[in-house]
Amino acid sequence: SQQGEEDPQALSIQEGENATMNCSYKTSINNLQWYRQNSGRGLVHLILIRSNEREKHSGRLRVTLDTSKKSSSLLITASRAADTASYFCATGGMNRDDKIIFGKGTRLHILP
C-alpha cells in the first residue's frame, strides 16, 4: 500500500522556473526522503529530512516537512533540462526493520 502521495502527478514548467512538488503521508514517520528517477533508470536519493526537522537545503533543492499536516514539499529552484525526471517521496527507513514506502511520484518535465 502507498504511504506517500505526491501532488501533482505531472508538472511542466519552463527552464529557469521553480518547481514545487508536494507529498502527503498517512502515519507517523521517523524521516521522509525524496528520490529522483530518470526514465527507466534506478532511483537516486536526493535528500532526507528527519521528523524533528522543518526545512532542509541541498544545492538547488529545498525540502520542508510539516508533521502536523503530514506533508512535505520539494522545491527545485532555477530548473534545468536535466531536472526532467520523476520525483518520489518515501517514508521510513531509519531502523533495521523499517522499509521505505514510496508514493507514485510526480513526473516533472522542464520545457526549453
Enumerate binding residues for other proteins (CB under 8 A).
1-2, 33, 35, 40-45, 48, 88, 93-105
In the numeric block, the cell 533495521 is attached to 96
In angstroms, what is the minimal distance from the CB of 48 to other proteins? 5
- Closer Cβ to other proteins, 28 or 97, answer by number: 97
In angstroms, what is the minimal distance from the CB of 75 to other proteins? 19
In angstroms, what is the minimal distance from the CB of 87 to other proteins? 12
In angstroms, what is the minimal distance from the CB of 34 to other proteins? 9
- Closer Cβ to other proteins, 17 or 98, answer by number: 98
DSSP conformation class of 83 = G
Residues 47, 56 contacting (CB under 8 angstroms)? yes
- Closer Cβ to other proteins, 44 or 111, answer by number: 44
- Closer Cβ to other proteins, 31 or 71, answer by number: 31
DSSP3 helix / strand / coil % (the chain, rounded to 5): 5, 55, 45
DSSP states of 24-73:
E-SS--SEEEEEEE-TTS-EEEEEEEETT-SEEEETTEEEEEETTTTEEE
